[in-house]
A and B are shown apart, each in its own frame.
Chain A
Amino acid sequence: MTNKTVLHAKHLASGAKMVDFHGWEMPINYGSQIEEHNAVRQNAGMFDVSHMTIVDVQGTDAKSFLRRLVINDVEKLKVAGKALYTGMLNEAGGVIDDLIIYFFSDTNYRLVVNSATREKDLAWMTKQSTGFDITITERPEFGMIAVQGPQAKAKVATLLTTEQNAAVEGMKPFFGVQVGELFIATTGYTGEDGYEVIVPDTAAEDFWQKLLDAGVAPCGLGARDTLRLEAGMNLYGLDMDETVSPIAANMAWTISWEPTERDFIGREVLTAQKAAGDQPKLVGLVMEAKGVLRSHQKVVTAFGEGEITSGTFSPTLGHTVALARVPRSVKVGDIVEVEMRKKLVKVQVTKPSFVRNGKKVF
């Protein structure tokens, strides 16, 4: 069965080309993926991300449950609305999913997880909740729209009430606030300024239309992928999955090792991996010559083989970029080879981040 988001009709009205995305019929583009990409880098674009799964975790033990469930430590969250990015691991230290957790109080958190992993995420969370006094509530009655780009906030501001504008004024990155019927967060998946807005299904179409009228370009999953890859952000299922350690997926920064007595799932395995120092790592690859690096191409280095996890043409840079998992001894600045169409071509190793706020960053 194919799911449709609350904005499905709006996509068709804008001429979207629809594709199946893990059981959801979603827009891949509205004509030109590259023009949509550029709209986000230069002005403002919006994405329907209503397929993503919102899960509220509430109750007396909400904090202690999340301190066990994920590798980052929600104890760090002290200010209402503050969010953190993290991973949820299995006992073997593999990534079940990556997610964002918003903190409202020690007994009230909101999680946003991937749609492709919805069922296993919910099953895992439910299983792990045994013994904790919490409720886990999926919130399918909301749509979600990501408005991104240097002009995104200004354009959204024209649609907000005075009260809403006051609430988001000066809001730092990685915060969210519920004001009126909207939950407005300074998060995103593009490397640009902007908001992710959670809106009740009943108001979603109207909000989307007002954004269109304000000159925000509708953007599909194609542009979403090139934007996140330029920004060096992981895509679950490509850059990491249940067989991959967060240490091998550029997610070590989301692991909170202190305090040492916090017993999060996967801790033992990660501690051993860290001590052994033998996990591969995720790096960036850049090639200025013609051609496009693609997922699953083999990488040949002086220290052994690796693999491209995500690759694309970067519209902002005008050449190809990729994320690749390679042996840990490979260094930024090294030249390695990629097997492309049966030939080995030389590429440069960079940090796994290419574009932020419209500018090259490597």
Chain B
Amino acid sequence: MSNIRLIYRKEMSAYFDSAVAYITFIIFLLITGWFFTSSFFLVGQSDLRILFNTVPVVFLFFIPAITMGLLARENHAGTMEFLTTLPVQEADIVLGKFFASVVLISIGLSFTLVHFITLLFVGTNPDPGALLAGYAGLVLVGAVYASIGLLGSAVSNNQITSFLISFVIIFILFLLDKILLFVPSFMAGILQFLSIEYHFSNIRRGVIDSRNLIYFFSMIFFFLTLSIRVLEIRKWR
């Protein structure tokens, strides 16, 4: 079996053997559920806009919490020495853990499909294509956040530090779209292009454009590569 899969499996059982996964799911569903239902009937529209607006904000806190321990705990407990002296590449470790966190996020997200199904029944003329595209977009947003979370986890032995580092990076990317009014126009274009919200909003509308996909995948690639480099550099200290 490939090493990535073995690391992935190890992390998945670590998530599900402890209470982490279950607690994460419950809190995630409570928060998104409350935001969704509390205004759903007031707005009276057949879309999941509220959900799609809320989830990235919830992710901002949740994903750093899910990923903070992935590498920091191994660094702290010394198990990194065990893991990196096995015939495993640093890339296998980072990718295995990355996939585990993305799958955990996707499982959490899949529970919110209840809202989607509710909408199919009670809504008028919903557009399932756009809604599913929105979900795909959320998974991509989650994957970008998770890759940032891994970087935060790689640079520290301390989970709280890891959380804060990832949180700050994600928060900056999250804010970019909202500060466009305050920056000079020549920068606005660049900042907008870097903002997650900008690319997600396109996908959410049901328009899956290769430009947006390239953005998401290059962000993930960039942060994962950086995390792998951080692990490699540790050997040279």
Say whether A associates with B: no
**Chain A residues engaging chain B, CB cutoff 8 angstroms:** none
Which B residues are within 8 Å of any A CB, using their own CB? none
